Chains A and B, each alone.
Chain A
Amino acid sequence: MSIFSEVPQAPPVAVFKLTADFREDSHPQKVNLGVGAYRTDECQPWVLPVVKKVERLIVEDSSLNHEYLPILGLPEFRSASSKVALGDDSPAIKENRVGAVQALGGTGALRIGGEFLRRWYNGTNNTATPIYVSAPTWENHNAVFADAGFKDIRPYHYWDGAKKGLDISGLLDDLEKAPEASVFVLHACAHNPTGTDPTQDEWKQIAEVMKRRNLFVFFDSAYQGFASGSLDKDAWAIRYFVSEGFELFVAQSFSKNFGLYNERVGNLTVVAKDNENLTRILSQMEKIVRTTWSNPPSQGARIVSKTLNCPELFAEWYVGNVKTMADRVLLMRDQLKAKLQALGTPGTWDHITQQIGMFSFTGLNPKQVEYMIKEKHVYLMASGRINMCGLTSKNIDYVAQSIHDTVTSVQ
């Protein structure tokens, strides 16, 4: 009798199952608009040229070894990453009240932050603190906070399906009604999966309510630079909240903007009231990290650190490579909208160019999505989310036509 005989088969993670199904499909015109990774116009993964350069430098540097990093990670990486989020001239950094934990991707940063909040926020070990995530949100947010021990994870209004935009009044209403001290997970830019971000005015309104109602700000920043092509623009919301005096967390990912997906490069930036609080916070972060992974992997952090801390490499990354990716996505957005309008596809398609970042919430319903996959061999998430990076000059006509056929055949 096995002790594991009762272990049930768990359902596959949807986004990875989609790619698996895509791989098995033999249709010559199949298109994968599922998983969120950048693709070139040849639909190939892209290792950033600056990353290739820096990796070579690392391999050739015989003074480097594979020793353990400190528990909180590579110091030069942590400080440079926080600077990217908060700005070179950030007053909070000057005031020595910004710290960071190098983490395994954005996921790892969220998890460490979540574990910390569950132990030390709003009392000690208060698993009842409500955690609010947007409706919809990245599908892993729920599990991260649930596994961190929180019992009450709730949606806040975000996507308005009717107007295909942000439900700002619903969002503000949820902020007004949330219990004091509730945690809100905010997408800093390029909201996943909708691609719909608050305007600066809307961010100001959100901040005002959150301050008044004593709500905690946890930013998820996975696309800085990738969204608009500008690091500053994409970090505007984070910096605004910091300037308004909030103590907050930012879970940063360098998976997309550095194309370092599989090296798991992330950073949890902590903005505290003062250095004394920060010191105690970081000491407890160490304890959490020590029982999760002891210390983080060094390769990816070295690459990012070298790049961010060297002006020429920084420029090559930012002005060169990041801009290339952001521009291609913007081009695909323009072209997809134009083609749908030219085809006379029913509905409005402005949201495609109004939305930002890797993803677009097309507005296709589950039946339409199923049709797209089964009949057109165009793979997208059941939510109607498409990865713009999966579009190329070679497949965009087919995709536009497929959307047109789907919308006119299936209600």
Chain B
Amino acid sequence: NTLLQLLYSWWGGVQMGPPDPILGVSEAFKKDSNPKKMNLGVGAYRDDQGKPFVLSCVRKAEALISAKQMDKEYLGITGLADFNKSCAKLALGADSEVLKSGRNITVQTISGTGSLRIGANFLSRFHGGPRDVYLPKPSWGNHTPIFKDAGMTLKAYRYYDPATCGFDHSGALEDISKIPEQSVIMLHACAHNPTGVDPRPEQWKEISDLVKKRNLLVFFDMAYQGFASGDIDKDAWAVRYFIEQGHNIVLSQSFAKNMGLYGERVGGFTVVCNDAEEAKRVESQLKILIRPIYSNPPMNGARIASTILNTPELYSVWLGEVHGMANRIIKMREQLEAGLKKEGSTRDWQHVIDQIGMFCFTGLKPEQVERLTKEFSVYMTKDGRISMAGVTSGNVGYLAAGIHAVTK
């Protein structure tokens, strides 16, 4: 028996897991020795020198925090209260009726992923409607396994139109009109990942009306507030409009991109309830859900974010820096489109400029992507998505040449 145990492992049946498609791109990039290589995989902002960018408002906030010499006592399960308040205010707007009536519960989460997972777990446990979550086609790759692991099932509604590289408005409305009542529908608040394609305001209004008619539960994923247009309020417009229209939404927020706090894991999860009493009940259940995952959230990033949001001088510095990041992305889009024209491409690249946020759905096919990677050391995900943040004035010409080469 002992001999068998020496030879036998508990884990013989464990299969090798596939590499994560998005993070796997970075790993392959690291191994490449081509000096011209470009990492257009993961969505982390880079400055025009291709370097990670630590916002100055973050450094200032860190200095302020360091000087205060605070203790390291556990946060409550729902996290830093000052952060939660300002996080909700940022999304909903300072004059939101929801905030005034206290009918939201907002909890600190482990960035956007943690927020989505808490939300998925909460819906799985308490949502009386169908277990189906409707994602736009396509959506962020991690949405599907998050909801699956939480016990929900995934369905889709048309969203991206490959013919136009734009929004499939009629397709979306047609599909949404068929979604069974009380199902959950996921909407990307702005800067859709991976396509960069957002509905226009009048299109959002039609979606809202239809979703209301179908009595669907809206789950907004807002990972890029401020980062899309450069304007905090503009990027939150859809979220606020839906709330005004009477949707009691659930909302995930991330501060990974718009504050550059990626590794500090700063996020929020909000449930808009009927009233403050219901919000209290929901809060108590969120705590029960969170405690057996990680007990209480990490302080550092939330403290930084809270300091920025609640210190007027830092807040305005932040708005400027977010605007700056968004602007650089917009400029790179313009330069890429111009570069492709210059290369002599006869294809329509208007979508490069029309799409918004960190990502661009180029329209490249998997074989073309493979060529771009193999021959030009340009790393991106197979779906043709590129992170514009990885594009600089120094390499945009090279990128245009490469894309032209594989598409002509």
Chain A residues 117-174 with CB under 8 Å of chain B are 120-124, 140, 143-144, 146-148
How far, in whole Å, are A292 and B290 apart by their CA atoms in the complex? 11
A23-62 contacts to B, CB under 8 A, are 35, 37, 44-47, 51-52, 55-56, 59
The answer, yes or no, to whether B367 is at the interface (CB within 8 Å) is no
Q: Is the CB of B300 within 8 A of A211?
A: no
User: How far apart are the CA atoms of A99 and B63 in the complex, in Å?
Assistant: 35
Pick the contact of A293 from B1, B6, B12, B110 — CB < 8 Å? B110
Given contacts A123-B13, A140-B291, A280-B16, contact A261 B264 (CB under 8 A): no
- Residue A10 is within 8 A (CB to CB) of chain B in the complex: yes
Residue in chain A with minimal CB distance to B288: A10
Find out whether the CB atom of A47 lies under 8 angstroms from the CB atom of B262: no
Residues of chain B from 275 to 309 with CB closer than 8 A to chain A in the complex: 278, 280-282, 284-285, 287-289, 291-301
- Please choose the segment from B70-78, B93-101, B370-378 that sits at the chain A interface, where 4 or more of its residues have CB less than 8 A away: B70-78
Is A402 interfacial (CB-CB < 8 Å)? no
In B99-150, the 8 Å CB interface with A consists of 110-114, 117, 126-129, 142, 145-146, 148-149
Please judge, given known A-B contacts A10-B287, A71-B20, A299-B298, whether A293 and B265 are in contact too, CB under 8 Å: yes
Residues of B within 8 A of A290 (CB): 20, 113, 142, 145
Query: Given the complex, which residues of B lie within 8 Å of A35, measured CB to CB?
Result: 74
Given contacts A59-B62, A140-B292, A287-B17, contact A277 B117 (CB under 8 A): no
- Please indicate the chain A residues that have their CB under 8 angstroms from the CB of B296 in the complex: 105, 262, 264
B289 surroundings in chain A (CB, below 8 A): 147
A120 touches B11 (CB 8 A): yes
Cβ-defined contact, A104 with B20, below 8 A: no
- Please judge, given known A-B contacts A7-B281, A264-B297, whether A68 and B44 are in contact too, CB under 8 Å: yes
- The verdict on A67 contacting B293 (CB below 8 Å), with A2-B278, A37-B73, A281-B11 known, is no
Residue from B71, B77, B281, B299 in contact with A45 in the complex, judged by beta carbons closer than 8 Å: B71
Residues of B within 8 Å of A247, CB to CB, are: 9-11
Given contacts A6-B128, A262-B298, A297-B265, whether A65 and B278 have CB atoms under 8 Å apart is no
Residue in A9, A59, A124, A140 whose beta carbon sits within 8 Å of that of B63 in the complex: A59
B380 close to A (CB within 8 Å): no
Would A71 and B294 count as touching, CB distance under 8 A? no
Interface size band for A: 35 or more
Cβ-defined contact, B145 with A291, below 8 A: yes
B197 within 8 A of A: no
Known: A55-B66, A262-B299. A146 touches B292 (CB 8 A): yes
Closest to B271 in A: A4
A216 CB contacts on chain B under 8 angstroms = 10
Contact of B52 among A6, A67, A111, A214 (CB under 8 A): A67
A273 to B75, CA, bound (A): 38
Chain B residue nearest to A37 in the complex (CB): B73
Whether the pair A294, B42 counts as a contact (CB closer than 8 A) is no
The DSSP consensus for interface residues of chain A is: loop
A263, B300: Cβ atoms closer than 8 Å: yes
Nearest CB to that of A9 among chain B residues? B281
Q: A214 with B281: in contact, given A123-B13, A262-B298, A293-B111 (CB under 8 Å)? A: no
Contacts A59-B63, A281-B14; A264 near B113 (Cβ below 8 A) = no
Is A411 on the interface with B (CB-CB < 8 A)? no
Question: Which chain A residues border B294 with CB–CB below 8 Å?
Answer: 103-105, 107-108, 111, 264, 293
Closest to A52 in B: B69
Let me know if A107 and B66 touch, CB within 8 A.
Answer: no
The minimal Cβ–Cβ distance linking B30 to chain A, given in whole angstroms, is 11
> Would B113 and A245 count as touching, CB distance under 8 A?
no
Cβ of B113 and Cβ of A292 under 8 Å apart?
yes
B292 touches A111 (CB 8 A): yes
* Inter-subunit contact B292/A143 (CB<8 Å): yes
Is A409 an interface residue when CB atoms closer than 8 A count as contact? no
A205 contacts B by Cβ under 8 Å: no
Pairwise interchain contact B110-A69, C-beta atoms closer than 8 A: no
A259 and chain B: residue at smallest CB distance: B72
Q: Which residues in chain A, 1-18, are within 8 Å of chain B measured between CB atoms?
A: 2-13, 16
The answer, yes or no, to whether B50 is at the interface (CB within 8 Å) is no
Tell yes or no: A357 within 8 A of B by CB. no
By the criterion CB–CB under 8 Å, are B9 and A12 in contact?
no
Report yes or no: B69 in contact with A261, Cβ–Cβ below 8 A: no
- Given A104-B298, A293-B110, A294-B111, the answer on whether A143 and B291 have CB atoms closer than 8 Å is yes
Expressed in whole angstroms, the minimum distance between the Cβ of B358 and any Cβ of chain A is: 14
Determine the chain B residues whose CB is within 8 A of the CB of A199 once the complex forms.
none
B170 at the interface (CB under 8 A from A): no
CA distance A143 to B289 in the complex (A): 9
User: Is B28 on the interface with A (CB-CB < 8 A)?
Assistant: no
Give every chain A residue within 8 A of B386 (Cβ-Cβ): none
**Nearest CB of chain A from residue B220's CB, rounded to whole Å:** 16
A235 to B6, CA, bound (A): 23
Does B182 sit at the interface, judged by CB under 8 A? yes
Complex CA gap A263/B73 in Å reads 9
Selected A-B contacts with CB under 8 Å, 21 pairs: A4-B248, A6-B128, A46-B71, A71-B20, A104-B293, A104-B298, A105-B295, A107-B291, A147-B293, A211-B5, A261-B74, A280-B16, A281-B14, A287-B145, A290-B20, A291-B145, A292-B110, A292-B149, A292-B293, A293-B117, A297-B300
B contact residues vs A (CB 8 Å cutoff):
1-2, 5-6, 8-17, 19-20, 23, 42, 44, 52, 54, 58, 62-63, 66, 69, 71-77, 110-114, 117, 126-129, 142, 145-146, 148-149, 182, 217, 248, 256, 260-265, 271, 273-274, 278, 280-282, 284-285, 287-289, 291-301
In the complex, given contacts A263-B72, A293-B111, what are 13 additional A-B residue pairs having Cβ atoms less than 8 angstroms apart?
A: A4-B126, A8-B281, A47-B71, A66-B52, A66-B264, A68-B256, A104-B110, A216-B10, A247-B10, A284-B17, A291-B142, A296-B265, A299-B298
Q: Shortest 6 CB-CB distances between A and B: which pairs?
A: A104-B294, A283-B17, A143-B292, A294-B113, A298-B263, A299-B300
